Structure formats: structure tokens, C-alpha cells
Chains A and B, each alone.
Chain A
Amino acid sequence: MNDISYIGEHLWVGQLGHFAIILGFVTALLSAYSYFKSTRNFSDEALSKSWKLLGRYSFAVHGLMIITLISVLFFAMYNHYYEYSYVFAHVSEELPLKYILSAFWEGQEGSFLLWMFWHIVLSVFVIRTSGKFEAPVMFTFAIAEAILVSMILGILIPWGEDAIRIGSNPTTLLRQVNEAPIFANADYLSLIKGRGLNPLLQNYWMTIHPPVLFLGFASTIIPFAYAFAGLWLNEHKEWLKQSLYWTLFSAGALGVGILLGSLWAYVALSFGGYWAWDPVENASLVPWIILVAGIHVHIVSINSGYSRRSVYFYYLLSFIMVLYSTYMTRSGVLGDTSAHAFTEMGLGAQLQFLVALFTILGLGMLIYRYKELTNPAKEEELPSREFWMFMGALILLFSAILITISTSLPIYNKIMSYFNPAFEGKVIQDPVDHFNKYQLWIAVFVSILSGITMFLRFGARNWEMQRKKLLVRVPVFLGLSVLFTWLSSLSIHYYSWQHWVLGTAGFFGVISNLDYIFDKARTKYKMSWAALAHLGFGMMVIGTITSGLNQKHISTNPFVFREIFSENDVKKYVQLIKGQPLFSQGYLITYVQDSLVERERYYKINFQKLNDSMEVVETFDLYPHSIYENDFSKVSAFNPDTKHYMGKDIFTCVVSLPPSLMSLEEAKKVEDSIKYTTYQLALNDTMHIEGLIIKADAVSFNPTNEDYAKHTNDAGLEVVLSVQDTVDDKQFKLYPAIGFEDAMLYNYPAAVAPAGVRIKLGEKMLEKYYSPDDSLHYQDFTIKNGESFEYKGYTFQLTGLNKSPEHTNYQKQDGDLALGAQISITGNNMKEDMEPVYVIRENQPMSVKSYSPSSGIHIRFSNINPQDEAFSFKVAMDNRNAGGNVVLDIAKDIPRNDYVILQATIFPAINLFWVGSILMMIGLLMGGLNRYLKTRK
């Protein structure tokens, strides 16, 4: 097969890339081995150091190779080298340059590269700051990198009769992975075009969400690596001080990544919410929760010496869960339980190995050292901060376990059906309800603990004083919380006692942390980052009640979350006809118009808020839009538009369109099913059809039909119709038109959507008004330059002669002698310039006719008499006073296509959720910065 020498391929790109992969893999292994040796010979300083340097240098080469590979792949994508299968699958000519990064990490290979990239960036800082922990910490990095590179290695290992494929190489040629007849053509590259980026992913969220999320994922290796190093070196104190800022950074980055995904879902996708307990979402949330639990016991451990085992356990587990979630989202095991996962690539076994290896390495090491990890002999005091922080972390762990078990159901099914092929897979009937039900209590505990624990001291110092404080504060805050919950219940609904408890707990968290911030702000401002994060959590909890539990659809009335109405009665979506306002929830909603911008069609929806006396108090427009497939063949997705207020959001999304607007195929089906009947109608006569009285007013040769104006037509014709709609009692005009260009006819029908009537002009109309040349009666005129003649009420003046004339029907050839006659025509309320052309080609005279569609004048430049300097013209006119009837083709029962199906939902106080979660992240990152400055001092 390779005996064809293909044209236009850039093989060096792939060769360089492949070389980088191989060398990158080998150097990662070498680095891991060297760092291993360095750690093993820790006591022999010189030997350890030389191994460490080797590890460091080989890791540097590894990093260089990965960056080379990324550059090479990016270069190939930028230049559309479709001979590479990854390029072919992810970019296309039409793809705007701004989405090339999104296309890069759309696929599994690209996102693995992104992950490795962040490891490499982070490693630069880790090597600089980790001191004596460098070797064992970087050992973990190098092992992880080696396995990640193996995901894109793309080598085949013979295994019995089959071969096992290790990884999927992004530099593979298209013709190596596909067998298609096209590759028999040496010049196949000129025949193919790329598939391009999925239109759903063509937005800026896809540009920012993955890098941040992967920075978060990548950074979770640092706590793991430090914990592993601590266990390995049997050093359980120093690394705790060194690594706290890393963990805070990691939780901040991962949290921001998750939050961006949630924002993306809410702001730009048609999900109509910010969290759906989808397995892919859960998979990134669980490591974050465990990491946050880890941070709490980490702080306990630094300050009191307790909870050491927990620190190790949480940090090891957090990274293991990152790997586990990678396995879940990338192996295809989630199947139909998730709305969004990567396409499967057959990496399942390799991913399982990745999870297993780090689980065994991490937890094995923990078990090995378990006995040596001792707590202080005395148990924590009951009223001490360390005890309740430990309890908080335990609750977070409990939450993570619950989510993980539920999310892992597909894996449980897979294992069970392996042992018992008849096993019927289990599913959670109502996932959102299931998760909310249990996580509600976690949120209650966390809110309350975060409020109280801040007022306790490590080692229960000053307990007598603190007790007095607490005895006052807790009852007061609790009372205030109940009061606030009650006050808020006047405008939002708490549907069950559980939600009352949750609301009260949320307010308690907010109030007590606010109090802490104001109380301690002056003296211990450095500690306020924790209170800030806890305050955010409380706000977020309240936000979920207001915006989740109390969301309501504008379209109809019901509150949807609770089943007050039977589920089927909840009509979430509403049909909105263009120009017909709908009144609901105090808003007058009108679909005004639509407009196309690049591949997106925007639907302008006007909202008018009315007060009790039906006066407009506010008006605004929203533009939900639909996105077309790359080739415009159909609508591939809908994106929402949202009006943001301080206190609420109004979310709109078009969810469906008339079938004929959804795809070309449907449009054709609809068009084919339409039956037209021909009617003859005399000017100023009327006809009745479907409750419409139609009168033919006039025939015009300058069509004003909107669609007509969008095309270039050589000539056209339009009939002006006055229509009276007897059903709606409305009067209006219609302008059906017909045009032609290069002998092709184009119809521009007019429609009355409510009556389901469409009117187009019969093609006979054109023949009637535009006479073929041979049926014209030309009249001859001869004049000199500047003179004029009269014809049928028009004055024709020869104003000049043009030696290089241009005319659509004349193409200049060498040796032509051509002359254009510039004629200005006036009369009958019109003025027009025409330029017929006289040509002598190879001694043969020719005349190129000029024609004015609006007046129907045909004019030929027929002769030149050089002696008298006289010029002859032939003039004729279309027979437009033919009178008689207007020919109309009319179809009835046309499905209307002037509406959208809209979802409009109010999310009350959704900003509480966003502000709360952002505060949490600010708290974490502030804490990280604070800690970094302290550690580096």
C-alpha cells in the first residue's frame, strides 16, 4: 500500500512529533528511576545528589519533548495538515482561528497533552521550592508523566493472535488509520477537508474551561506527591509546612475549573441550570471535596499534631479520585448515564492500570507506615477546634463516598455482568432527587460546623472565655437564622421541613462567619480567608434554595421543582408566534424577529414588564440563538440568553423551531408537500380564499419584495395585492414577486401565516410581460451625437460615445472594435441611462442589446455612418399593456414557520449561588497566597 508516493504530505511533522513522544516517554521513565535511586540513597548525600540531578535533567528533556509535541501538533492544526488524523478530526477550513485551541483539546490526546503541560509547568515551581523533598515528590510526577505519555504512545504489542495497542498517537496519518479507496489517489489531500470542531464546542467557554480545569486536575498531584514523600522518608512534619499553600492553590484552581464548567452550562448551554449531578460533574467534584477535607486536617495537623493519618489518607485519595474520574469519563464506562463524556478510545485497560498503580503505591505506602504515624497520647479536647475540624473533614469524606458510590453504579453493573452475564444493570431512577436528598444534610452539617468551629481554639485554649462567647452567640445567631429564614419564606418557598433546616443552617453559616470576620478582622485578618470561604459556602447553600428550588417558568405558571402539579401538566415550553405577544408572570413577551450572524441565528425576544395597571415599567430584549451545523444543513444546537439582575435571572432558550427551519431535509419535505392551485385575477378584482379577501392592485417591474432584494436579478416582476383578513379583521399588502437571472427563474412568494396561505406568481406572468426578442417590433432611428429622438412618450438623447464599453453580455476579444452609445432616456416619470454596444469582430458587425426591465425598453446600436457621423438605433418595447389577468399560484394549509418554542425561566437570587461559590474560591486562593508568603519568608 505504501508504494504510492503521495503529494503534498508534510511527513517531517509527524516524524518529529513521534520522536518527541518516544523520547518523552523514555526520559520520563529515566527521570522516575533516577529520582527513585536518589530517594533510596538518601543517606548518601553525594550519590543521592547525582541521581537527583540526573532525574532533574531527564525530566527537563521530557518537558521539552512534550512542549515540542504540543507545538508540532498545534502547527499541523494551524496549517490544516489533513494528512494527520487528529488534525483531520478536529479542524476544518471553516473553523475560525480563535477556536483552534478548543479544537486542540477537544480530543482525548490533546487533553492528555494539556494535562502533561500543566504537570511540567508546575514541576518547575515544585523543583525550586521542595528542597529535600524534591526527589520523592518528583518521582511521583515522573511516574504520572510516563503513564500519561503512554496514553498517546500508540504502539502495538503482539499478544497471542492479537496485538495490544498502547495509547493513541496524535501524529498518526489519516491513511494509516483509515482504509478508504481515496488513498489510492496520490493527490488525496487536495480532495479531503477536515471534519472540524463540534459546533456545540465553538465558543469561548471551550477555550477557557478545559485549561483551568486541567490545571486543577494536574495540581492535585502535588499533595499526593508530598504525602507520598513524607511517608517514604518517614518525615511527617516538615512537608506539612511546606505544602499547605500548594493544596490551597490546588483546591482553588480545581474549584474555579468546576465553577467555570457550571457557568458554561448555565450561561451558554441549553441545560437550564448550573448543576445536574451528572457523572462527569460528580467526577470532578469528588476529588475537590476530598482535597478540601484534606486541607482541614492539614491545618489541624500543623497546629496540633493530631489527624496525621487523615492528612495522608485524604491527600492520597484525592489524586486517586482524580485518576478514577479520568477513567470514568474517558473509558466509555459511563455509557448512557451521562450527557457528556469523551468519545471512547479503547484506553480502558490503560486507565484502569493508572488508577490501580497509584492506589497501590499510595495506600500501600500508607499501610506500611501506618503504625509509625502516631497521634499525641491524649485525645483531643471536646471543645477544641482540631476535633471539630476533624469532624467536618469526616463529613466531607462521607459526602464524597456517597457521591462516588452512586456515580459508580455503571462500574458496579459492569463488574456484576462480568461474573453474571444475565445481570440486569441498575440505574438511579431520579438522580437529581437522589443526590439532593442526601447532600442536603451534608450541607446542613458543614454550614453549622463552619460557623461554630471558627470560635473554638486549638487545644481548647481559653475555653472558659470562649464558652461564654459561644453561649451568647450560638442562640442569638440561631434565632437570627430562623428569623431570616422566616422572612425569606415570604418571597420564596421552602417546600419541606428539610429545606427549612437547610435554609436556617445556611443563614447560620453566613451570620456567624460574617461575625467572625468583623470580630477578628483587625487583629487576625490573616485568618479571615477561612471565614470568607465558609461565608461563601453559606451563601451558596441559600442560593441553591432560591434559584434551584424556586425556579419558575415564565412560560406557564407552575413552580417546577416540587410536584405540586402532576409532572405531565408542567408545560415548560411555550410557542411564541412572531409578532403575537404572550402575557405571563407579569411580562408581555414578544418574538420580534430573527437575524443570521455567521453560523448562528438570533431570535429577538422582547420582554415588557407590566405593573398592576398594565403600564410598561421596563422593557428589554433577549437573544437566544440556534447554531447551524458546519455545512448549514441543519440546526445542531440552541444556546440561551439571560437577563441578569441583582436579585434574579431571566433565562430564555429556544428549544425547538418549525420543522422546515430545523433542517434542509425537512424544509424540502414541507415544500414538496405543498400543492398550489392557479388562479386568474383581473387587476382591481377581488377573490376570497381562507377568510382572506385578495385584491390585485398593480403590477410593478421594480419589485419591493424583501427576499427579491437579497438576490441579484436581471429582471423581475411583482404584483401588489391588498389583503383583508376577515378573521383577524386586519388589512395589509402582499408583494409576491418573480425574477430571473441567467435564464433561471426565481420565485419569491408571499405568505399569510395565520391563515396558512402562500401566494406566488405564476411563471406565465413573465412571458406575458417580458417579450422574447423575435416577437418585438423594432423601430429605427438615426441621430448625431447630442441629438435626441422620441419614442412612445420617451425622449432618447445620445449624450456620448464610449470607446471601451462594458456590458454584461459582451466579452472583449483581441481585435474587437467596440463602441458604446451613452443614451439618456427620460419620460413617463422616469430617467435612466442605457448603453447599447456596437462591435466589429473579424469584419463582422454585431450589436449588443441593452434592456431596461423597469420600463421594458429594448435598444440596439445598429449602425455607424462615419461620413455623416450619424448613429442608428433600433428601439422596441415590451407589450405591457397586454392587460388581462394576474396569474397567482395559491397554496392553502401551509404549516406556519414564524414561531419559536421557547423556555423562559426565572432563577431567583441565583447570584447568591455564584457570589457564594466565588467567595469560596477567593478564600482558598487568598489562604494559599497568605500561606505562601509565610512559608517563603
Chain B
Amino acid sequence: MNRSLIISFVLILAGIGVFISASKDVSTYANFKQAANGGKVKIVGQLAKDMPMTYDPQNKPNEFEFFLTDEQKTVKKVILHQPKPQDFEMSEQIVVTGELKDDVFNASEILMKCPSKYKNEEIAIKNEVSGL
């Protein structure tokens, strides 16, 4: 029998196998409602700017609390188990990975989309007008 045919056949089978098994790794972004069903999910949303943010590095360096508004406009408390990320307040969009437990979202990872610091900035004016 033609060997290259066998190889192609095996590879295609392997490909299909990987594809099926890998499709479990992929999902859409969830919202808080879906997260209530349990399990690890990724939630995309915005920082609820009118709600308090707490980071007490002195006592809990690994816990940063804030409130997130998901795409359905549901607001829930998020505990990020990491120090407070830099420029957090500037974020336009936040993606957190974690689980919802007792109505609090426990996040292990965070990705923020920030407006580029070096792009839409006003033209910086020198502090002192030179040319004296």
C-alpha cells in the first residue's frame, strides 16, 4: 500500500483528533450570569468607576478588590488575587479569568486594555518657557 497515503491518513486523523479535543479549550467570553453556573470563565467588562477599589498591600498583598460591570451591565465584586496592576484606573476594558464563588468573582488573571500612553496625549508644553 502507498505509504504516503497512510501517512496523510494518520496525520489527518491526528489533526481531527486535536481539533476536537482543543475545541474544549476555546469558549466565548462569559458574563456574570453564565459564571454563576460554576467553572473557570473569562469575563470581559469595564471597571465600575463609581464603586470603591481596595488594595491594602500592607495586610493583603495578594488581594485587590474592585467592581466590574459586565457586558450585560451587571455589577459584581471582583477579588483579583494579585497586587493591584499598574495604571488600573486608566483601563478602558478589562478581561478577568476566574470563578464566581458566593457572588464574588475570584480572578487569578487580568488583562487590561489601556489607551496608549504615548499616543493620544496632548502635546506636552515645556514647564518653563525657554529662550530667556
Contacts and interface: CB of A to CB of B under 8 A. Distances in A.
B111 A336 contact: yes
Interface residues of A, number: 58
B88 to A, nearest CB: 11
A182 B126 CA distance: 12
B131 interface: yes
B32 to A, nearest CB: 15
A856 interface: no
B56 to A, nearest CB: 9
B108 interface: yes
A271 interface: no
A393 to B, nearest CB: 12
A337 B130 CA distance: 44
Contacts of B20: none
Contacts of B57: 575, 656-659, 899, 901
A380 B116 CA distance: 56
A680 interface: no
B126 A192 contact: yes
A434 B123 contact: no
Contacts of B131: 187, 190
Contact of B62 (A426, A573, A657): A573
Contact of B124 (A193, A434, A655, A901): A193
A425 B28 contact: yes
Given A89-B118, A394-B7, A659-B55, A574 B61 contact: yes
A426 B27 contact: yes
B7 A568 contact: no
A637 interface: yes
Contact of A191 (B3, B40, B82, B129): B129
B111 A192 contact: no
Nearest to B93: A336
A831 interface: no
B113 interface: yes
A636 B106 CA distance: 26
A756 B113 CA distance: 37
A401 B57 CA distance: 44
Contact of B83 (A89, A335, A567, A655): A655
Interface in A867-906: 895-896, 899, 901
A428 B23 CA distance: 9
Contact of A190 (B11, B26, B122, B130): B130
Nearest to A636: B86
A379 interface: yes
B26 A409 contact: yes
A571 interface: yes
Nearest to B23: A426
Nearest to A433: B25
A610 to B, nearest CB: 24
A295 B124 CA distance: 51
B61 A434 contact: no
Contacts of A434: 22, 25
Contacts of B106: 568
Contacts of A343: 116, 118-119
A339 interface: yes
Contacts of A567: 81, 98, 108
Contact of A425 (B14, B18, B29, B125): B29
Contacts, number: 123
Contact of A568 (B27, B28, B86, B108): B108
A430 B41 CA distance: 10
A810 interface: no
Contacts of A180: 122-123
Interface in A623-675: 635-637, 655-659
Nearest to B109: A430
Contact of A896 (B58, B84, B113, B124): B58
Contacts of A483: none
Interface string A181-202: 0100001001111010010000
Interface in A85-105: 88-89
A444 B87 CA distance: 42
A434 B22 CA distance: 7
A429 interface: yes
Nearest to B44: A336
B111 A438 contact: no
A426 B28 contact: yes
Contacts of A568: 81, 106, 108
B111 A190 contact: no
Interface in A338-389: 339, 343, 379-380, 382
A434 B18 CA distance: 11
A391 B117 CA distance: 48
A808 interface: no
Given A424-B28, A424-B29, A656 B124 contact: no
A659 B81 CA distance: 18
A462 interface: no
B50 interface: no
Interface string A399-414: 0011000100100000
A578 interface: no
B40 A575 contact: no
A172 to B, nearest CB: 15
Nearest to B56: A895
A427 B26 contact: yes
B36 interface: no
Nearest to B121: A195
A481 B117 CA distance: 52
Interface in B51-67: 55, 57-58, 61-62
A89 B55 CA distance: 34
B97 interface: yes
Nearest to B26: A426
A438 B22 contact: yes
A33 interface: no
Contacts of A658: 57-58
Given A379-B3, A398-B11, A406-B22, A895 B82 contact: no
A192 B124 contact: yes
Contacts of A899: 57-58
Contacts of B62: 571-573
Contacts of B129: 190-191
Which of B15, B18, B86, B119 has the most CB atoms of chain A within a 10 A radius of its CB? B86
Contacts of A429: 25-27, 40-42, 97
A178 interface: yes
Nearest to B39: A429
A744 to B, nearest CB: 20
A438 B3 contact: no
A894 to B, nearest CB: 11
Given A398-B11, A574-B61, A192 B125 contact: yes
A656 B84 contact: yes
B43 to A, nearest CB: 11
Nearest to A657: B57
A428 B61 contact: no
Nearest to B28: A424
Interface string B1-15: 011100100010011
Contacts of B26: 409, 426-429
B100 to A, nearest CB: 13
Nearest to A903: B83
A80 to B, nearest CB: 12
A573 B108 CA distance: 13
Contacts of B61: 573-575, 656, 901
Given A192-B123, A336-B111, A434-B22, 11 more contacts: A191-B125, A195-B124, A198-B118, A336-B93, A339-B111, A382-B3, A394-B7, A427-B26, A655-B83, A896-B58, A901-B83
6 contacts: A88-B123, A178-B123, A190-B130, A192-B126, A427-B27, A896-B58
Closest 6 pairs between A and B when the two form their complex, measured CB to CB: A656-B83, A424-B28, A901-B61, A434-B25, A575-B61, A571-B62
Interface of A: 88-89, 174, 178, 180, 182, 187, 190-193, 195, 198, 335-337, 339, 343, 379-380, 382, 391, 394, 398, 401-402, 406, 409, 424-430, 433-434, 438, 567-568, 570-575, 635-637, 655-659, 895-896, 899, 901
